Amino acid sequence: MTSAKTGVWPFAGRRATTEVLLVWSLAFGSLVLAFLAFGLSSATKLVATAGFLYLPILAMRGRGEDLSDYGLSLRHWREDLKLFLGLSLLIAPLFFAAYWGFLHLVSELPAELAAALSPYRPGAEVRFTPRLPPDFGQWVLDQTLVVALPEEFFYRGFIQTRLRDAWPGGRRLFGARLGPALVVTALLFALGHLAIFAVWRLSVFFPGLLFGWMREKTGTILGATLLHAAANLFVRFLDASFAPMP
């Protein structure tokens, strides 16, 4: 084997994984401190948004890269939009059924266990009355520009790209490469949601896998951002439409 394969590439891979762990740890630590200081507030959200956007930019300085190298681009917007719409139509009814079933399950659990698994109170009747939450238009902007876009840039844009530099292998599934980088990114995405000390939020590992697949499929984070925001908004709609309420 050449020195490039035995020396340079492993070094580059170690540097990429070290960079990812450092940047993720800084973002996670700042979120924990913000939550302890301010709780679930606008200040904590501001810390999260700033960290997710600016920590990757600081890390990529000096490598001659730009934001499009990390998926922040509209170059495949038609493919991203088609993928987003198709997956939304497929997933929405399945998620609705799973949500309803989960609430029925939680309603039968002991209060302590139910509180650990979900934000819903047990023992209440589960019924569906379609309604939009207050200020839903504001929530659309918030979930798209303040939550989904920064998180997708941080995780699927920066982290998944850098981990793919370290672990370039993987198998293709429906036109996208699946490998360790995608899985580890989804794991870090889930662990990052523990910053507010809610164990049930680890469930975001599974949509994280889908967002990662979309990133690999189109080469950008646009489709994943749209689906991420739509999923959060759909949950918000279900929160307002189901009893028991959060």
CB atoms within 10 A of CB 90: 10
Task: Report d(CA 53, CA 167) in Å as an integer.
Answer: 24
Instruction: List all residues 6 or more positions away from 184 whose beta carbon is below 8 Å from its beta carbon.
Output: 163, 167
At 205-245, the pLDDT tens digits run 999 999 999 999 999 999 999 999 999 999 999 888 886 55
At 33-87, the pLDDT tens digits run 999 999 989 999 999 999 999 999 999 887 878 899 999 999 999 999 999 999 9
> Using an 8 Å Cβ cutoff, are 233 and 140 in contact?
yes
Task: Report d(CA 60, CA 112) in Å as an integer.
Answer: 45
pLDDT of 9 reads: 54
The pTM for the full model equals 0.87
Task: Report d(CA 172, CA 244) in Å as an integer.
Answer: 42
Closest to 157 measured CA to CA, from 75, 83, 216, 81:
216
71 lies in which domain range?
Answer: 3-243
**Domains contained in the chain, number:** 1
Residues 195-210 have a mean pLDDT of 88
DSSP states of 168-196: ---EEETTEEE-HHHHHHHHHHHHHGGGG
